[in-house]
Chain A
Amino acid sequence: MAELSVASGAADTVRKPPLVVRFAGDSGDGIQLAGLEFAKSTADAKSDFMTFPDYPAEIRAPAGTLFGVSAYQIQFDSDEVLTPGDEADVLVAFNPAALKTNLHTLKPGGVLIVDETHFDARGLKKAKVEANPLEDGSLDGYQLITAGVVKRTIEALAPLELGRKQATRAKNFWVLGLVYWLFGRPLDTTEDWLKTKFRKTPEVANANILALKAGHAYAETVELSAVRDFAEPRIAKHKNKSRIISGTQAMAYGIAAVSALGKRDIVYCSYPITPASILLHALARFEAGIRTFQAEDEIAAVSAALGASYAGSLGITASSGPGLSLKTEAIGLGVSVELPLIIIDVQRGGPSTGMPTKPEQSDLSMAIHGRHGEAPLPVLAPATPDECFWIMLEAARTAIGAMTPVIVLSDAYLANAASDWELPDIDAIPDIDWPEYKPNGAEFQPFARDPNTLARPWVAPGTPGHAHRIGGIEKSSGTGHISYDPDNHEEMTRLRAEKIDRLTARWPEVKIEDGPEDGDLLVIGWGSTYGAIAQAVKELNADGKRVTHVHLRHLNPLPRGLSELLDRFLQAVTVELNTGQLCSILRSEFLKPVECISQVNGQPFHVSKLRDEFTKRLEAPGA
């Protein structure tokens, strides 16, 4: 707690450091719910924040087991927050398994809130713990609060005469009340939410509210004053209305925006897979604009989406790694027949089933190269949860403008991480132009091209006088008739590639996020590593170092200016949650030395690790 005590005791001019709170317990303990309520309360306190749910693949693993532990982490600050934080200042552990698997995330001296109810022989055995950590002195380095959560929740709810089991369910709100007190937070946001959520079962709302208040009162009664030194930072971050948004929800709104700005229905086809299915759930709730179709498998999902695009709608499909593997043949067909299509890949740990709930960036090579034949297509990647909104607009403009399938690479972190999002000014976003084919008197040629974009005309069935046939067999340039002519195949192959390459002219030039225009170290990131890289670079540059950060949203083709930028730095390094896929691409594309800072442990980068890695390279180039 040393770091915090200094800050809280110092003059107002000393900025208080950001704070990190982590809740951990059984997946049935209501951890994610408590975490989300804490995030809403943080938004009400006008702090900036970023959250990350870290949950197991098992739905309801046996209670108390190590593999059933679910966690939720939030970092908040008066300044901009870019990551959910490396280490926690406050850790809540609901049982021995949660303590064992999460203690390493707590800072030395941090506040540790433990429910000792399950620290009996049975609970310890389930967590495979020999000695009781509450008794063996192993927690001496932390500010331990053993709150007896279950016991006190039951006591607090005694007037309601609920059964023991039902009363125990409110324990997450008891703890939340305690944590709110630590940060001087009011209870009304959560109270209001409970009343609305359980308006049909007011007894459930009452029980949870009673528990919330009891936890809050408990913290006030016992001596937690030292901990209460946390002061809530208060800033007004946004001018306009804002809301808490996860990458998934942002993506859903982005798809709705494509429908609104393009004034066309979207057909969204997918097959359930973790962690992409939550996008299907989000879209299925919309009553207009987006037709959602749960297909029989991944192949049917992409095929139906392509069929929808053929028929004049925009087909979108989403999946995760294994699903993208299954979809590749149909994506290749999309490249060949040159129809718009959006494929969202919410990347997860691989290969095969891998680690379905953990983030990884290991599908980049597959997205760019993973089809048979010469089948280039654009690949985009959002960097933050709120960019998931904008990337869908970019993907739609690209798919329709160039008549091509587009892959969007998200990941398990972006899909679930949430932050405060300033609502966009919808009126300021240009329309999405849906190309209308205008007959020019000459005979219709389905594979004649726009001279600028090289896109072919999109004429859907039902258009009078233009019936034509398309297919995966090579087509004669122009007429689209079946052709096995060698020169034609060469021409068509090069045209399809040129069409994708020309996208760079429409896309923005590579942009420096932070740092000098030239210098010692260029850090190149893509996707969800944005926050950790930006934070590390910001801290080093504030410290007088010279590190430059660029973050690629366009991975194929690569943006203009990147090659020249590489020339202006002594060293260039990619930061990736894989073994160096972007690094390999940059090396082969530009024939320049690029190194990689790589991590494949299913977790987002820690800012501290990146800071150390960058520092090491600054001190010893080429290390």
Chain B
Amino acid sequence: MNVMQLKASDFESDQEVRWCPGCGDYAILKVVKTVLADIGHSPDDVVFVAGIGCAARFPYYLSTYGFHTIHGRSAAVATGVKLANPDLDVWVVGGDGDFLSIGGNHTLHALRRNVDLNLLLFNNAIYGLTKGQYSPTSPVGTRSPSTPGGSVEQPVNAVSFALGAGAKFVARGADTLQTHLPTVLKRAHDYKGASFVEILQNCIVYHDGAFGAINDRSESQNVTVRLEHGQPMLFGKENDKGLVFNEQTGTFDVDELTNLKSEDDVAIHDETNIDRAFALAQMEQPGHPVPLGVLYAEPAAEFVDARGFTGTKGAWDRDALKALL
């Protein structure tokens, strides 16, 4: 595909955006348009496939090709698109219901199959379009129309799930972190294979503030750690705290820099280390900063596209058919 000089506005569709005012999806849409312009593929070579839910309306608001499918099946449809035409740049957008509830199976298989798709999970930990029921990522105790006494189920950790499914690229961003999110999405796009990005997204109507200070620009630094490959995992407004890897438990401990003998005790982020990625994926608030950025990117992983499947030597012709019979 040719790389072109494009502007974010080149990716704007003529459709009126119908999300609730203040929805985190607006922020994500803005970032995606910027990233697409930066990548520079013509909108004619880009496909957005979505399932059902608020997030899944995404394709209507872009000037690319788009397919708004059925609940949970977007990854499977996108796999078919890629099988038919591996040259397309294919993105899959869905919410926590789409990707982790009804479509959990397809997410799992798209990831372990490692088809070259960019999967964006807009996680707002609630069912928005159906008016506020708890979702598979809602924390225990979430009060909703279907759980008036508070939900009792353990939520699924999206990035742990993705790593467990065998994903080769797992990252996390947040809707309002408008300088951080583009770098994550660009990395996801550039990765050859199935790249999984969880985007923490605020639902202003049914689950406002679900992620606390994480996507509050002024507070975010205190409750998140920005992962950069080869860099020490420091966080806090003054970069005064760090993650120390506990060899005994295989998990990360949080410590003030002032308590450490040396800054060298702070763990260096290695995005190619799957064990460390699992340890990072387990870190949650409170107690740990939430890791944002690329948790894991397996270098040079074998990815699958149509060329890996049988029958890829082109269509038959009459002579080939006669020979076959």
Contact = CB atoms under 8 A, between A and B. Distances in A.
B68 A472 contact: yes
B312 A426 contact: no
Interface in B119-140: none
A296 B173 CA distance: 29
Given A289-B316, A313-B84, A426-B318, A461 B76 contact: no
Contacts of A305: 80
Contacts of B62: 469
Given A289-B314, A426-B325, A304 B79 contact: yes
Contact of A307 (B84, B314, B320, B325): B84
Nearest to B71: A329
B205 interface: no
B325 to A, nearest CB: 5
Contacts of B108: 296
B213 interface: no
Contacts of B82: 307, 311
B84 A308 contact: yes
Contacts of A285: 310
A61 interface: no
B81 A461 contact: yes
Interface in A465-479: 465-473
Given A299-B73, A312-B85, A313-B84, A289 B63 contact: no
B237 to A, nearest CB: 42
Given A286-B310, A307-B49, A472 B81 contact: no
Given A300-B109, A313-B85, A288 B314 contact: yes
B83 A462 contact: no
B298 to A, nearest CB: 21
A315 B82 CA distance: 12
B227 to A, nearest CB: 30
Nearest to B307: A291
Contacts of B324: 253, 256, 286
Nearest to B11: A467
A334 to B, nearest CB: 10
A490 interface: no
Contacts of B314: 265, 288-289
A303 B84 CA distance: 13
B42 interface: yes
A300 B76 contact: yes
Given A304-B77, A333-B70, A261 B65 contact: no
Contacts of A337: 67
Interface string A260-271: 111111110100
A427 B105 CA distance: 45
Interface string A273-300: 0000000000111111111110111011
A470 B67 contact: yes
B65 A260 contact: no
B315 interface: yes
Given A299-B76, A426-B318, A461-B44, A307 B67 contact: yes
A306 interface: yes
Contacts of A262: 315
Interface in B299-323: 306, 309-318, 320-322
Contacts of B88: 311, 461-462
Nearest to A468: B65
Contacts of A329: 70
B71 to A, nearest CB: 8
Given A312-B85, A313-B85, A286 B311 contact: yes
Contacts of A465: 44
A618 interface: no
B243 interface: no
Nearest to B106: A300
Nearest to A425: B322
A408 interface: no
B311 A290 contact: yes
Residue with the highest number of chain B CB atoms closer than 10 Å, among A256, A267, A283, A310: A310
Contacts of A293: 79-80, 83, 309
Residue with the highest number of chain B CB atoms closer than 10 Å, among A264, A287, A464: A287
A287 B67 contact: no
A461 B313 contact: no
A311 B80 contact: yes
Contacts of B59: 469, 471
A289 B311 contact: yes
A179 B13 CA distance: 73
A312 B68 CA distance: 17
Contacts of B105: 296-297, 300
Contacts of A289: 311, 313-316, 320
B66 interface: yes
Nearest to B77: A307
A269 B80 contact: yes
A300 B42 contact: no
A399 to B, nearest CB: 15
A261 B319 CA distance: 10
B60 to A, nearest CB: 5
B87 A462 contact: yes
A228 interface: no
A308 B219 CA distance: 45
A460 interface: yes
A463 interface: yes
A482 interface: yes
A284 to B, nearest CB: 5
B43 interface: yes
Nearest to A269: B80
Contact of A469 (B67, B309, B310, B316): B67
B76 A291 contact: no
B312 A467 contact: no
Contact of B85 (A290, A295, A460, A471): A460
B45 interface: yes
Nearest to A264: B315
Contacts of B76: 295-296, 299-301, 303-304, 307
B28 interface: no
B78 interface: yes
Nearest to B313: A288
Interface string B37-58: 0000011111101000000000
Contact of A426 (B66, B106, B322): B322
Nearest to A389: B325
Contact of A306 (B13, B80, B313): B80
A423 interface: yes
A306 B316 CA distance: 21
Contacts of B66: 467-471
A253 B322 CA distance: 10
Contacts of B249: none
Contact of B321 (A260, A287, A471): A260
Given A300-B73, A464-B44, A260 B315 contact: yes
A257 interface: yes
Given A256-B324, A427-B318, A462-B44, A267 B84 contact: yes
Interface in A307-353: 307-313, 315, 329-330, 333, 337
A125 interface: no
Q: 4 tightest A-B contacts by CB?
A: A307-B80, A471-B68, A304-B80, A313-B84
Given A265-B315, A329-B70, A330-B70, 9 more contacts: A253-B325, A260-B318, A263-B315, A286-B311, A288-B320, A291-B310, A296-B106, A300-B106, A472-B69
Interface of B: 13, 15, 42-47, 49, 59-60, 62-70, 73, 76-85, 87-88, 105-106, 108-109, 306, 309-318, 320-322, 324-325
Interface of A: 243, 253, 256-257, 259-267, 269, 283-293, 295-297, 299-301, 303-313, 315, 329-330, 333, 337, 423-424, 426-427, 460-473, 481-482
24 contacts: A261-B321, A286-B324, A289-B313, A291-B311, A293-B83, A296-B106, A299-B106, A303-B70, A304-B77, A304-B83, A306-B77, A308-B80, A311-B83, A313-B83, A315-B80, A315-B84, A423-B325, A426-B321, A426-B322, A462-B45, A462-B65, A464-B42, A467-B66, A469-B15
